[in-house]
Amino acid sequence: MKNIVIIGCGQGIGFATAKLLSEKNKVIGISRSHNPEVDSLNIDFYELDILSGNLDEINFPEVVDGLVYSPGSINLKPFNRLSPDDFENDFEINVVGAVKVIQKLLPNLKKSESASIVLFSSVAAKFGMPFHSSISASKSAVEGLTKSLAAEFSSQKIRVNCIAPSLTDTNLASQLLSTPEKRESSGKRHPLQRIGNAEEMAKMTEFLLSENASWMTGQIIGIDGGMGSIKL
């Protein structure tokens, strides 16, 4: 049984990942909001804002085998309507929060025989899209962080990989998918003609944390219906 820490377990991809991984692992879940559904999971749950909260208040296991950082943001506006604060807030959520928890848990990860960190980017970091400048900038930073840490931590056998989804059916994307017409239109933008779901991302996360991915590090893995690689 592995010790897995999941940041952002309250909803969406983080919740789906906690649900999947808690079946065979000890999961410590952290979220800034309390989703009552989390109570049904066999995890140690802490309600904490990763940016403003004190991680010293959490009783982490001495050995951490896996760390998943899944918080994100969808701040889609024309560039001239985005303020510097918008860019800073997106960067805080997507990058600084990850840095904070990785630095906190690095000693615990080093004690694992096969530690793995999974971060989340976006297809928007690779594929230029209008109105995505803030999220694209912060998620591009996540990809750079992934590769840099993968290189730095390789001698300690800590793997670092990143999943880059396209539009996924989660609470975060609810406004973009609020009507059947929006869902259909969004699906048709992808070569595979549909949007993604949180369970698909959770299964890839499970794989990256497992021994089956023991020779993978520094990778950006697109789960995006083909959007980031092909055009029909």
pLDDT in tens, 36-51: 899 999 999 999 999 9
The CB density around residue 131, as the number of other CB atoms within 10 Å, is 15
Whole-structure pTM value: 0.94
pLDDT at 45: 96
Q: Is 80 within 8 Å of 128 (Cβ atoms)?
A: no
Query: Is residue 195's pLDDT more than 90?
Result: no
Q: Six-digit token pair at 122? A: 């976006």
Residue-wise pLDDT tens digits, 153-181: 999 999 999 999 988 877 776 676 667 88
What is the rounded average pLDDT for all residues in the chain?
93
Q: Report if residue 103 sits inside a domain.
A: yes
**Region at 131 (left for phi over 0; alpha for psi -120 to 50; beta for the rest):** left
Query: Is residue 61's pLDDT more than 70?
Result: yes
What distance in Å separates the CA atoms of residue 18 and residue 202, rounded to the nearest whole number?
8
pLDDT at 167: 87
The letter for the amino acid at 114 is: S
- Confidence at 8, pLDDT banded by 50, 70, 90: very high
CATH number, domain of 100, equals 3.40.50.720
Residue-wise pLDDT tens digits, 96-117: 999 999 999 999 999 999 999 9
Q: Report if residue 33 sits inside a domain.
A: yes
Q: Report if residue 57 sits inside a domain.
A: yes
The letter for the amino acid at 137 is: A
Q: 58: which DSSP letter?
A: S
pLDDT at 173: 61
- Confidence at 203, pLDDT banded by 50, 70, 90: very high
Q: Report if residue 178 sits inside a domain.
A: no
Domain that holds residue 105: 3-167+198-223
pLDDT at 34: 86
- Comparing CA positions, the residue from 1, 6, 15 lying closest to residue 171 is 15
Work out the burial of residue 191: count CB atoms within 10 Å of its CB; fewer than 13 is exposed, 13-18 middle, 19 or more buried: middle
Domain count for the chain, please give it: 1
Q: Report if residue 192 sits inside a domain.
A: no
Work out the burial of residue 54: count CB atoms within 10 Å of its CB; fewer than 13 is exposed, 13-18 middle, 19 or more buried: exposed
Q: Report if residue 102 sits inside a domain.
A: yes
| Cα-based distances in Å from 92 to 67, 87, 146, 179 | 18, 9, 16, 31
- Confidence at 35, pLDDT banded by 50, 70, 90: confident
Q: Report if residue 232 sits inside a domain.
A: no
Q: Can you count the helices (H) and strands (E) in the chain?
A: 6, 9
pLDDT at 174: 62
Query: Is residue 202's pLDDT more than 70?
Result: yes
Q: Report if residue 193 sits inside a domain.
A: no
What distance in Å separates the CA atoms of residue 85 and residue 40, rounded to the nearest whole number?
37
Q: Across residues 111-136, what is the average pLDDT?
A: 94
What distance in Å separates the CA atoms of residue 69 and residue 6, rounded to the nearest whole number?
6
pLDDT at 189: 84
